[in-house]
Chain A
């Protein structure tokens, strides 16, 4: 199954997910996207920048030190969620290919645990498809 089909499948299963992008966070590039409305490149770039910051950038480093042991390296962040009154942003990093990530903007009605479980499964499958 190709990437765009997987992204469309996720959105079909979760209509409250309005925007979905598959990105390489090591190069800060969106590789594929699926959205209710047509997206501009700078919109996607913003989404990817946020994913990089939260999953592997300064924000991730600052927060992951909270659960790091004194003598170990900072553990990686594999998931970040921003919950607001009007929207929910979800950023998932692949456990098998840590440079792969899904960036999602959803309505607040989204079932977050169910969505994350499904999206993560697809994210790991994308790594196997490649």
Chain B
């Protein structure tokens, strides 16, 4: 899959890649500003190569998983005795039904979360399918997350309305439905075709394994540096926007996006 959301994940991995691979401890949640279970789920979803992912909460409890391709293979040491003790012989039984309880206990009342990752032998993990995250995080599906879109104005529409004088066309979809458009019919037909493909990927990422901390993104594709055009794809919570602009005006439109997305 190669859509906006996937590119976002890739960039996220690129940027944090050094820390992830060097085994440094990283803070994922501080002072309870983000849901601990969502942060754990997102971290696991973004871990594609075989890794031991070790989370530590505000009580200094530890829960550790072997992870590959965004899926948990098993619970492993050095998971705290306090966590393992919730289900006898949890580390040995590999029973997926035990994991939600362990995760639930680990995340309960936690206000801080850090993570440390360590490389695993690829051959050891590659043959295993892993446990679906909906099983592990059974009570933290996206439907339980706060509806950010309802609490915020539609940034994408505001951005494209502000950019209208500089763009040759624009299209905004909220929850997959077009709410705002401008430009010639010919170019809008192409943008709608592009939007259909992007929306499929966007919905998939919202409804399955991927939970992102970063909810807004702008991706710009440009043609030849001299006299070329650009296609802008923006996403913010449940809104997607597409626009075309000449490369000469691209800098102005990017500044508009940065000011709207802040």
List residues of A whose CB falls within 8 A of some B CB: 19, 37-40, 42-43, 46-47, 49-50, 53-54, 57-60, 62-67, 75-87, 89, 95, 105, 108, 112-113, 120
Contacts and interface: CB of A to CB of B under 8 A. Distances in A.
Contact of A75 (B218, B223, B254, B258): B223
Interface string B210-248: 000010111111111110111101000000000010000
Contacts of A42: 17, 21, 49
B197 interface: yes
A81 B219 contact: yes
Contacts of A80: 219-222
B226 to A, nearest CB: 8
Nearest to A19: B14
Contact of A89 (B14, B18, B193, B194): B14
Interface of B: 2-3, 7-8, 10-15, 17-18, 21, 49, 187, 190-191, 193-194, 197, 214, 216-226, 228-231, 233, 244, 250-251, 254, 257-258, 261-262
Given A59-B3, A77-B223, A83-B257, 17 more contacts: A40-B17, A43-B17, A43-B18, A54-B221, A64-B221, A64-B231, A65-B193, A66-B231, A67-B229, A82-B8, A83-B254, A84-B216, A86-B15, A95-B224, A95-B225, A105-B14, A113-B254
A77 B221 contact: yes
Given A54-B221, A83-B254, A86-B214, A62 B18 contact: no
A78 B254 contact: no
B225 A50 contact: no
A121 to B, nearest CB: 10
Give 4 nearest A-B pairs by CB, closest first: A79-B222, A113-B251, A43-B17, A83-B218
